[in-house]
Chains A and B, each alone.
Chain A
Amino acid sequence: MAFMMRINFVDVICDDSLVSTYADGKKNGYSFAIRLSYYRGHFLSDIDRFEVYTDGEKVADRDIQFGLNGKQFTVGQLGQCVSEFWTLLEPAHIFVIRPGGLPVGEHDIKVVLYLRCPYLPLPGSAEGEHKYQPIDGCGEKKLTIA
Chain B
Amino acid sequence: MSRIKLGATLYCYTSEYATGKFTFEDCVRTAAEAGAEGYEIVATQMIPSYPFVSDEFLGLVNDCKAKYGIAPASYGANNDRGMLPDRDLTEEEMLQRAIIDIQSAHKLGCHLLRAQYLLSPAALEKLAPYAEMYDVKCGIEIHNPEYPTSPVMKEYLAAIKRSGSKYIGFVPDFGCFATKPNKPQWDQALAAGAREEMLELAKQMRTDSVPLQEAQQRMLEKGANDAEMMAFSGMYGFVQFSTHPDLEGLKEILPYSIYCHGKFHYLYENNREASIPYEEILPILKDGGFDSFIMSEFEGHGYADAVLMTKRHQKMMRELLHQEA
Point out residues on A near B: beta carbons under 8 Å. 1, 3, 9-10, 39-43, 45-46, 48, 79, 82, 85, 87-90, 116-119, 121, 123, 127-128, 130, 132
Contacts and interface: CB of A to CB of B under 8 A. Distances in A.
Given A9-B18, A40-B44, A121-B82, A130 B51 contact: no
A22 B204 CA distance: 62
A130 B87 contact: yes
Contact of A45 (B17, B51, B85, B118): B85
B205 to A, nearest CB: 15
A46 B230 CA distance: 24
Contacts of B44: 40-42, 85
A9 B50 contact: no
B83 A39 contact: no
B2 interface: no
The 3 closest A-B pairs by CB, nearest first: A9-B18, A118-B82, A79-B85
- Select the residue from A3, A10, A89, A116 with max chain B CB neighbours within 10 A: A89
B116 interface: yes
Contacts of A130: 82, 86-88
A119 B80 contact: yes
B242 interface: no
Q: Is the interface of B mostly helix, strand, loop or mixed?
A: loop
Given A43-B80, A118-B80, A87 B48 contact: yes
A28 to B, nearest CB: 30
- Select the residue from B45, B50, B79, B80 with max chain A CB neighbours within 10 A: B80
17 contacts: A9-B14, A9-B301, A40-B42, A40-B44, A40-B45, A42-B44, A45-B85, A79-B85, A85-B51, A89-B48, A118-B80, A118-B81, A119-B80, A119-B81, A121-B82, A128-B88, A130-B88
Given A39-B14, A130-B88, A119 B82 contact: yes
Contacts of A119: 78-82, 116, 118
Given A40-B78, A43-B83, A82-B84, 13 more contacts: A3-B229, A9-B302, A39-B14, A40-B45, A43-B80, A46-B80, A85-B44, A89-B48, A119-B79, A119-B80, A119-B116, A127-B81, A130-B86
A50 B85 CA distance: 13
Interface string B8-44: 0001001101111000000000000000000000101
A90 B83 CA distance: 20
A51 to B, nearest CB: 16
Interface in B80-107: 80-88
A10 B79 CA distance: 25
A116 B17 contact: no
B14 A82 contact: no
Contacts of B116: 119
Contacts of B249: none
B28 to A, nearest CB: 16
